[in-house]
Amino acid sequence: MNERLKEIAVKAQVEHCVSHVRLEEFADLIIQEAILAVESKTNTNHIYTTFDQGMVSHTINNSVKAIREHFGLKS
């Protein structure tokens, strides 16, 4: 489990089972759900130009990349 997830486990007071594979899988699934929410639930109905759409898409992609890097997930 990566260091950031270990820190969160300590905060949640579940550090006693932090090495358990199922806990790591659970954490990874939660992170994947958060990424999915950013990617698919971002409301873009108010965007009218292709330039603005490109900017929003770029921001979403950078956000997803930052989340993956922060938690040490593969793309």
47 in Cβ contact with 53 (< 8 Å) = yes
d(C-alpha 26, C-alpha 29), whole Å: 5
Establish how many alpha carbons lie within 13 A of residue 3's alpha carbon, considering only the half-sphere containing its beta carbon.
2
State residue 1's pLDDT score: 62
17-72 per-position pLDDT tens digit: 766 777 778 888 888 999 998 888 777 778 889 898 888 889 999 999 999 988 88
Q: Which residues contact 52 (CB under 8 A, 6 or more apart)?
A: none
State residue 40's pLDDT score: 85
Q: Structural domain of residue 55, as residue ranges?
A: 3-71
The secondary element (H helix, E strand) that includes residue 19 is none
Question: pTM of the entire structure?
Answer: 0.69
Is pLDDT larger for residue 18 or for residue 12? 12
Angle at which helix 50-71 crosses helix 21-40, to 10 degrees, equals 170
Q: Quote the number of domains for the chain.
A: 1
